[in-house]
Amino acid sequence: MKLGMVTWLMGKDMDCHQLIELCQQSGLQGVELRTEHAHGVELTLSKQERTEVRALFDDSGIEIAGLGGCYEYHSKDPEEVKANIEGSKAYAQLAAEVGAPGIKVRPNYLYDDIPHEKTQEQVGTALREVAAFAEGLGIQVRLEVHGINGSKDPRNIRAIMDWADHPNAYVCWNSNVQEQDENGSIQWGFDLLKHKIGLVHITDIGVYQYPWQELFDNLKAINYTGYCLAEMGYNPEPVRFMKYYRTLFDLYTGQYKYPQA
């Protein structure tokens, strides 16, 4: 397993050079570049600018673990869903050109006045279309276990994935505290989605709020070798903080050694 970070809060005000420097100094291997943040890896980039972003990361030794989009497919408005599908396809093209291996999309809501099965089918069908398109670019499409009103329930995500039914449609496990059963275990939800996990988001692994050891043991059991991405809030000493984070990650995953190779 590889450790990286999401630019959700900690890196939201950093440009690409600053993100790379943070990763290099703290021992992170990659970064998911979230949309609408200061690094500016967006659809508006010219072809030349996309080439420059790719070269910057290639030369640095830090990987772009993915692009974190906000495209979602649950809307009641068919035109809005269509716009999000087309936006996702353009985002996949951007990912291919900057050297990212995948994009993140999401469901974000389940309506009380629409049968959940209908929304699951709608999201899954949209996901299938985007996954089929992105497959031709060599780009994974990762559905984040995300949203409110039941949207992030693993049972909902499993139903969506069954509707999508495409080998290039993956799940981004999101480490939601609500996934725990009465005994604090996440096994039931993990078992529903483990065959589709293509990316993992993790939060504060230094806090007793989630069964971190169970998660990492489960990931090892399925031979997961992808990224676990730290999704952390602002810290005034980001390099120092993430060095501690890296040590905890290595201990949890059995990769700790000193001195580091």
pLDDT in tens, 155-194: 999 999 999 999 999 999 999 999 999 999 999 999 999 9
As a whole number, mean pLDDT of residues 95-120 equals 98
User: What pLDDT band is residue 2 in, cutting at 50, 70 and 90?
Assistant: very high
Q: What is the 3-state secondary structure (H, E, C) of the chain?
A: CEEEEECCCCCCCCCHHHHHHHHHHHCCCEEEEECCCCCCCCCCCCHHHHHHHHHHHHHHCCEEEEEEEEEECCCCCHHHHHHHHHHHHHHHHHHHHHCCCEEEEECCECCCCCCHHHHHHHHHHHHHHHHHHHHCCCCEEEEECCCECCCCCHHHHHHHHHHHCCCCEEEEECCCHHHCCCCCCCHHHHHHHHHHEEEEEECCCCCCCCCHHHHHHHHHHCCCCCEEEECCCCCCCHHHHHHHHHHHHHHHCCCCCCCCC
Kindly state the percentage of the chain with pLDDT values over 70.
100
pLDDT at position 120 is 98
pLDDT at position 34 is 96
Asked if residue 161 lies in contact with residue 120, where contact means CB atoms within 8 angstroms, the answer is no
As a whole number, mean pLDDT of residues 245-254 equals 97
Phi-psi sector, 150: left (phi>0), alpha (psi -120 to 50), beta: left
Kindly state the percentage of the chain with pLDDT values over 90.
98
User: What pLDDT band is residue 148 in, cutting at 50, 70 and 90?
Assistant: very high
As a whole number, mean pLDDT of residues 197-224 equals 98
As a whole number, mean pLDDT of residues 187-207 equals 98
Tell me which residue of 203, 109, 194, 216 sits closest to 152, measured CA to CA: 109
Stated pTM of the model: 0.97
pLDDT at position 260 is 77
User: What pLDDT band is residue 135 in, cutting at 50, 70 and 90?
Assistant: very high
- Average pLDDT of every residue of the chain: 97
As a whole number, mean pLDDT of residues 192-204 equals 98
pLDDT in tens, 43-99: 999 999 999 999 999 999 999 999 999 999 999 999 999 999 999 999 999 999 999
pLDDT at position 261 is 65
As a whole number, mean pLDDT of residues 137-155 equals 98
